[in-house]
Amino acid sequence: MAVRPITQIGAPVLRQRARALTHAELASPEVQALIDDLIDTMHDARGAGLAAPQVGESVRIAVIEVPADPPHPYRPAIPLTVLVNPVLTPIDDEQFAHAEGCLSVPDLRGLVPRAARVRVQAWDRHGAAIDEIVVGLTAATYQHEIDHLDGVLFVDRADPRTLATMAEFERHQMPAVIAAARA
């Protein structure tokens, strides 16, 4: 287990579609170590999620976790989740604007339209099937991380007029984001 450097915007690996893994690859010590490294790196960076391309590995693995006491208490808790070869399907056409940032795009935030409800189908770290429906801010977190596996960054989807540094986001946009999240 190790904390790895986080790949930053501009690195080609962040713009590639990551390849799917087989069950045999997933069971390998190397891939299991990668999953541990993703978790350690996410925790070290205090992120809500991290995808393998963000540590330079172009494979379809993402980890997500939001503690019950996150830095932004309006976010619902998400237990530690490992998604391998995930597929997302929107449940309907409802969307909402989600305030996002990214460990690979430091100190930048913006509003991204996200599906309000999605079905997530994937494997867990042991190859067991995951099939669940996630909603709201949790659904947005899943969509953000799975976008990384498709070579998409939040800045590609964000309304460019909403992009702001973290300081300016907290000063001008955070109160409205918290109010919307609580509603």
Q: What are the catalytic residues?
A: 145
The residue length of the chain stands at 183
3-class DSSP state for residue 94?
Answer: coil
Are the C-beta atoms of 63 and 71 separated by less than 8 Å? Answer: no
Name the strand (E) or helix (H) holding 96.
strand 95-102
Closest listed residue to residue 50, CA positions, set 20, 94, 5, 17: 5
Are the C-beta atoms of 97 and 127 separated by less than 8 Å? Answer: no
Return the amino acid letter for 48: A
Cα separations (Å) of 142 from 10, 118, 135, 146?
22, 9, 10, 6
Name the strand (E) or helix (H) holding 132.
strand 129-135
Return the amino acid letter for 36: D
Rounded Cα distance, 156 and 149, in Å: 14
